Structure 1
Amino acid sequence: MLGSLRELVWRSTWDSECFNALREMYIRSCGERYPHPPLFEDLPNSLPHRFSTILSIVSEALVCGLMEGTKELGDYLERLREELLKLYSDLLLEEREYGLRLRPHRIEDLLRILAEKQG
């Protein structure tokens, strides 16, 4: 999944099945004590806000997995970091293109956690 994480996040902006798969990943990783993410039809209409919301859901699921130890990342840690850096770059490009401010963002925390785990 790591190699296609970026594609899944972008596809989830318009494909409800992809979004629901990411939503289920969040629910499995974070459990019942965290608020459930929105349904596809409740996502913001504007693309940058929709992308940011989905990226937050994915980031939170990965943070939960790392913090709770429910996700075995092992050799995939570096690839995960690379994929997240690409998505973070996409977030910055969305901000610039639409003149919006979408940060601070949970992906920033996730990148810090990954750096700590790696080093």
Structure 2
Amino acid sequence: MDKEDVDLPVIGRSGKSFSYNQDVVLLLLTDGVLFHLQSVTAYALMGKISPVTFSVASTVKHALSIWLSIIVFGNRVTSLSAIGTVLVMVGVLLYNKAKQHQREAMQSLAAATSKTPEDDVEPLVPKDPRPHH
């Protein structure tokens, strides 16, 4: 037995046992820490953006991880995954366009409501600059 092997026998459903080596334990710990950081980041981000925006970003993340697996690992591209990725990208573009349109509408509405009627209309009777007695 190597000195790198950790004697932690695990028995699976098949009844076969195997042991973890230090690399596997280190990778599992790293995975746990990164998952924790991702969860904390997700909760912090949810407080700053809308749930729909968060969901769209999550969907893009999943689509990118599919394409990353295709590029890095050489996984086969199925027509369904290609169509799904195209739908994700079209959806994100439409969402961004709708969000921009909403932002512009809110800005124009805010600009319109911040004006008072006195700003746009000249008085019919000129104001007397002298104080009233």
Question: Do they fold alike, i.e. is TM over 0.5?
Answer: no
Q: TM-score, normalised by structure 2?
A: 0.37
Instruction: Determine which structure has greater relative contact order: mean sequence separation of CA pairs < 8 Å that are 6+ residues apart, divided by chain length.
Output: 1
- TM-score normalised to structure 1 length: 0.40
More helix by share: 1
